[in-house]
Structure 1
Amino acid sequence: MFTFTVARRYLLSNRAQSALLVAGVALGVTAFVFITALIQGLAIRLTDEVTANSAHVSLEPVTRVARVLPKPGVETEAVALVSTFQRQQIREWQSTVALLREQPSVSAISTQITGSAFLVKGQAVAPVSVTAVEPENLDAISPISRQIVSGRRSLGADGILIGTKLAETLGLSAGQPVLFRTDRGVERLLTVRGIFRTGVRSADERVAYLSLQSARPLFRLPEGLTNIELKLDDANRARDVAVFLQDATGLRATPWQERNANLEDALTAQAQTGTLIQMFSLISVLIGIASALMLSANRRRGEIGIMRAFGISKSFIATVFVLQGLLIGLVGAAVGCITGYGLCLWLSTLTKADGSMALPIAPGQGGYALVLILTTLGSVLASVIPARSAARLDPLQAIQQ
């Protein structure tokens, strides 16, 4: 207790210096919080943008191949033969869907038939990537209904939804007929029920939606499915869920991270860059604390010498300086966390002209507990050198100086 009192009095004896030290620590912690919240916010925004119109986990049939086995004693290469006539499909999909509905982490399920086709309008022909879904689950993966700009979301037995770019290419509008020709050689006249705009050029000019009822005869899949798409409550758990579902169903489960490997690499590099910036900000703070305490120890050589002459132990002197570092780090870190949170909260309210957030910042993801612990421990470690220097002072020499 007496050691703490001496350390507190040392700090209060030079209030300006102590205030500057606390302010320096708080500034470094504020920078740490801001960088952490910005990086986490950017990661959240990019993840949301990527997964907003796509599945978190995709279930597909496992590709089965026939292999040419070499004859005994003859060195030949095994050649994988994949049938292009019979399409891979999920036949027992009802039991898989039942299993998925029992999983608390799964928030939405979309049973689909996907394939390639052509839309023909007069002399104009455009290739499309077809996604056939249950009409009631149209928005399970992507919010298509909210993106309809012309017509309505109804599919029905002969309806089709297309993007704005595709509609412009073919000169189509809602309510008009269009010839639909699949890669299986089946043709049918469909009606454009609605036109959507996602803002993603590839989707707006190449994607079309059908009902499963319409797609089955067109793609010659009377019973099976080509894939099952899932949305999860937490997109970051996609890898773990994919591993579990692959073992449980025997299907190939692909998390969204594998489909967006470049994004994951970019986020990893971004996080590493942010970590370096955080490290440098904390190191500069700790160097400042160590320098200030070294100056304090040098300035108080006479006082330290007198205390040592009266029998005060070296450990007491060292503990006084360590406690000073602890107090500076703890108070500065606490102030920095508060100011950092306030700064991030204010920045999160700034918006652009279109109403979107000006900075992708997440005030709740500032790493407050981590920076509080790191700064406090670092301040204690930074005070060890000046503490040892003060404890080693020779009492006689200190008093004479």
Structure 2
Amino acid sequence: MFAFTVARRYLFSNPSQTALLIVGVALGVTAFVFITALIQGLAIRLTDDVTANSAHVSLEPVTRVARVLPSPDANVESVAIVSTFQRRQIRAWASTVELLRSQASVSAISPQISGSAFLVKGEAVAPVAVTAVDPAGLDAISPISTEIVSGDSSLGADGILIGVRLAENLGLSAGQPVLFRTDRGVDRLLIVRGVFETGLQSLDERVAYLSIQTARPLFLLPEGVTNIEVKLVEPARARDFAAFLAEATGLRATSWQEKNANLEGALAAQAQTGTLIQIFSLISVLIGIASALSLSANRRRGEVGIMRAFGVSKRFIAGVFVLQGLLIGMVGAGIGCLSGFALCSWLATLTKPDGAMALPIAPSEGGYVAVFLLTTIGAVLASVIPARSAARLDPLEAIQQ
């Protein structure tokens, strides 16, 4: 195509300017890729941190409320009183577990008894949040056994696992007895089988693990469970799966997104900030392309005038400048995508002294296709103004200048 040949000749006639334009576009695209990969990488890391050691869907009994009963006397209302002493429980938990096992999207299931208690050692007393599980499924939701720093993870009939901070506060170590007093008013002497350290203060200082069979008489739950924790193959689908379970079981199903609404809000705000930065970086690139092509059109007024005098159409003149913008955009975007991927891949290899990734960056999430298309289309649009300006030149005025 002749217009393409002319556009290419114009670009190569001033190689330094063309190179600067392409480098400018490439730098803008590289910045776009870096910001996108960094924001997506941070979102992935935060999500993984939340979902790796917690349930993706939690099933609990529906909260019961007092209800007004009909009364023969219109001036008297009868109210059904809900007991606050009797713990809410899932009685038909076995059938719910069977339903969960039949779902291919479920990766782990943990029926639990959760409650509050106190650990008493001499005059020291510490409140704890109790999680009672099947010993065989101790690591179903959170890998506790791999975090044991003293003792082991064998719960047995009278064992308890506590966090390292809780052990320090009470002066306990593996193998020592401790008085366990539940919120139901039941006491029992248990043996600290193991001490774990997760690095999370809330767990290491406030959580204790028991066998579910040990917890039943302590919390006065001979047959039911208080909650069923579920992990999914795809944590992102937790909301939809929670809605399905709520309808199928009649229980209250809570997704991890609902429990961590603040995290979702923070990630959304972070994504919006990143989008604004990306938009401004692209705008600066496009302004540079439009300015350079405008200068080129002004310098070539004489050439454009001669072509117009020989009968070259306005459409052809405009097409030449649009093609210049297209070539600059495509080449610059391609180089920027490659350099952005190389930069992100290099940054992903950097680690801290403890071996963790220095930057939470995801090279595969750089939005390469999107930025290539946006930059190319934007470059074409940015060239429209100088293209129209060149096409509208009066041949006589252009030649005389």
Superposition TM-score tier, normalisation by shorter sequence? over 0.9
Partner amino acid, structure 2, of 1:117:
A
Partner amino acid, structure 2, of 1:28:
G
SS at match of 2:89: coil
SS at match of 1:116: strand
Partner amino acid, structure 2, of 1:364:
S
Correspondence for 1:302? 302
Quick one: distance in 2 between partners of 1:15 and 1:233?
54
SS at match of 1:68: strand
Q: Which moved more, 1:64-73 or 1:138-147?
A: 64-73
Partner amino acid, structure 1, of 2:124:
A
Correspondence for 1:146? 146
Quick one: distance in 2 between partners of 1:199 and 1:346?
29
How far did 1:143 drift?
A: 0.9
Correspondence for 1:386? 386
Correspondence for 2:56? 56
How far did 1:243 drift?
A: 1.6
Question: How do 1:2-401 residues align onto structure 2 when only pairs under 5 Å count?
Answer: 2-68=2-68, 82-401=82-401
Quick one: distance in 2 between partners of 1:383 and 1:79?
75
Give the 3 Å change call, closer, same or farther, for CA 31–220 of structure 1 in structure 2: same
Partner amino acid, structure 2, of 1:125:
V
Please list the CA deviations of residues 132-167 of structure 1 after superposition, one character each: whole Å capped at 9, or x if unmatched: 011111111111011100000001111110011111
Partner amino acid, structure 2, of 1:145:
S
How far did 1:4 drift?
A: 1.4
Give the 3 Å change call, closer, same or farther, for CA 82–322 of structure 1 in structure 2: farther
Quick one: distance in 2 between partners of 1:53 and 1:141?
6
Give the 3 Å change call, closer, same or farther, for CA 82–399 of structure 1 in structure 2: farther
Please list the CA deviations of residues 97-131 of structure 1 after superposition, one character each: whole Å capped at 9, or x if unmatched: 12212222221111111001111122222111000
How far did 1:78 drift?
A: 11
Question: RMSD value over aligned CA atoms?
Answer: 1.9
Quick one: distance in 2 between partners of 1:282 and 1:352?
32
Please list the CA deviations of residues 21-78 of structure 1 after superposition, one character each: whole Å capped at 9, or x if unmatched: 1100000000000001111111111122222321111111111212236889989999
Please list the CA deviations of residues 203-261 of structure 1 after superposition, one character each: whole Å capped at 9, or x if unmatched: 11110000111111111111111111111222222222212221222211111122122
Quick one: distance in 2 between partners of 1:104 and 1:76?
53
Unaligned runs of 5+ in 2: none
For the 8 Å contact 2:53–2:142, the answer to whether it is kept is yes
Unaligned runs of 5+ in 1: none
Quick one: distance in 2 between partners of 1:213 and 1:294?
80
How far did 1:2 drift?
A: 1.6
Partner amino acid, structure 2, of 1:56:
H
Quick one: distance in 1 between partners of 2:89 and 2:71?
32
Q: Which moved more, 1:132-141 or 1:87-96?
A: 87-96
SS at match of 2:285: helix
Give the 3 Å change call, closer, same or farther, for CA 70–95 of structure 1 in structure 2: closer
SS at match of 1:347: helix
Quick one: distance in 2 between partners of 1:305 and 1:225?
87
Quick one: distance in 1 between partners of 2:9 and 2:101?
65
Quick one: distance in 2 between partners of 1:218 and 1:339?
62
Quick one: distance in 1 between partners of 2:285 and 2:221?
66
Partner amino acid, structure 1, of 2:295:
L
How far did 1:83 drift?
A: 2.5
Quick one: distance in 2 between partners of 1:327 and 1:55?
51
Quick one: distance in 2 between partners of 1:243 and 1:9?
62
Question: What percent identity do the matched residue pairs reach?
Answer: 79
How far did 1:81 drift?
A: 5.3
SS at match of 2:128: strand
For the 8 Å contact 2:71–2:77, the answer to whether it is kept is no
Partner amino acid, structure 1, of 2:130:
V
Give the 3 Å change call, closer, same or farther, for CA 264–79 of structure 1 in structure 2: farther
Quick one: distance in 2 between partners of 1:74 and 1:359?
69
How far did 1:88 drift?
A: 1.1
For the 8 Å contact 2:33–2:340, the answer to whether it is kept is yes
For the 8 Å contact 2:71–2:78, the answer to whether it is kept is no
Quick one: distance in 1 between partners of 2:76 and 2:330?
71
Q: Which moved more, 1:234-243 or 1:272-281?
A: 234-243
SS at match of 2:173: coil
Quick one: distance in 2 between partners of 1:124 and 1:315?
88
Please list the CA deviations of residues 290-322 of structure 1 after superposition, one character each: whole Å capped at 9, or x if unmatched: 000001111111111111111111111111111
For the 8 Å contact 2:69–2:80, the answer to whether it is kept is no
Quick one: distance in 1 between partners of 2:74 and 2:348?
69
